[in-house]
Structure 1
Amino acid sequence: MHKNCMTGARNKRLAALTALLRRHSLTRQDELVTALREAGYEVTQATVSRDLDQLGAIKIRRGGETRYTLPDQLGAARSDDGRLRSLFAEWVRVAEPAANLVVLKTPPGSAHLVGVALDTAPPAAVVGTISGDDTLFIACRSPAEAAALAEEWQGWLRG
């Protein structure tokens, strides 16, 4: 098959996957494989896994349910402090400085949610983030900036 044909088919599959994620609460990759096959795409779980990665889809927990979501569905693309504050109030349990890092603790499966929001519109002091399952490391330019951010964010958690 010609490379452009493969790219076109892949783009159509990614668009179909995006539409599925927007319309349905899908919790497992095998559900996505089935839904894509029903839509006429012959895919494997490995293909779906790569596609989810390319789309930046992440699993989040909401109301006891874990499901796939796209970064723009998090509502974190705006850089206003109000959105980030409400995200922190809902998902962050602890903000603690450690040298030039700020360590955030979240409920299991939620660190990526906060990490995507920070990566989308990082505060000036933030150099980058690393998300685990329930822990997020935020690298700052200096220990003083890390301490100031941690203090500000911990204030958001208190109300």
Structure 2
Amino acid sequence: MKFQRQAKILDLIDQFEIETQEELSEHLRDLGYTTTQATVSRDIKELRLIKILSSTTGKYRYAVATSEVENSFTNRLRNIFKECVTEISYAQNMVVIKTLPGLGQAAAMAIDAMRDKRVIGTLGGDDTVFIVMRDESVASQFCSEAQKTLL
């Protein structure tokens, strides 16, 4: 549940200009997540979210710290992968990731949040993530990096 909630938080701050923890909690509640302010605060800390000045409204909003990306697999993605991925394989430019039941969408959202230029798109199901990559060589590279994450 934690990883799904955190993946949803990343999705929400990408879609909306969220200024406060209370506002983030409201969005989560609207999606069926019952969380306390303390839980949201911990999630923000674990995801290493920062507040940046919005270019459209002039107010501060939550965003992912760009300095956090040390390579193509961030710490949060490593955690999600370690907890839920059971198998990774590729064929040509397509990658298929098998997860524990109910965690496919969380893994897909984590991959989307990476904003990796090699990824064209993801599709997350209950226990499977389908990823279209730019070409076969980057699919192979992505799988190698992901498999190292699981070790």
The amino acid of 1:89's aligned partner reads K
SS at match of 1:93: strand
Structure 1, unmatched stretches of 5+, are: 1-13, 26-71
Percent identity over paired residues = 32
Note the aligned Cα RMSD (angstroms).
Answer: 3.2
Question: Are 1:95 and 1:151, in contact at CA under 8 Å, matched by a contact in 2?
Answer: no
Higher relative contact order (CA 8 A, sep 6+): 2
Pair 1:20-2:29 in alignment: yes
Pair 1:98-2:91 in alignment: yes
Could you list the structure 1 runs, at least 4 aligned residues long, displaced by more than 2 angstroms after superposition.
Answer: 14-25, 72-80
Structure 2, unmatched stretches of 5+, are: 1-22, 36-42, 49-62
Residue 36 (structure 1) aligns with: none
Correspondence list, 1:33-52, <5 A: none
Pair 1:146-2:139 in alignment: yes
The amino acid of 2:135's aligned partner reads S
**Deviation of 1:93 (Å):** 1.2
Q: Normalising to structure 1: TM-score of the pair?
A: 0.52
**Deviation of 1:111 (Å):** 0.4
User: In structure 2, which of residues 103, 108, 115 is the aligned counterpart of residue 110 of structure 1?
Assistant: 103
> Larger Cα Rg: Structure 1 or Structure 2?
1
Q: 1:16 to 1:141 in 2, by over 3 A?
A: closer
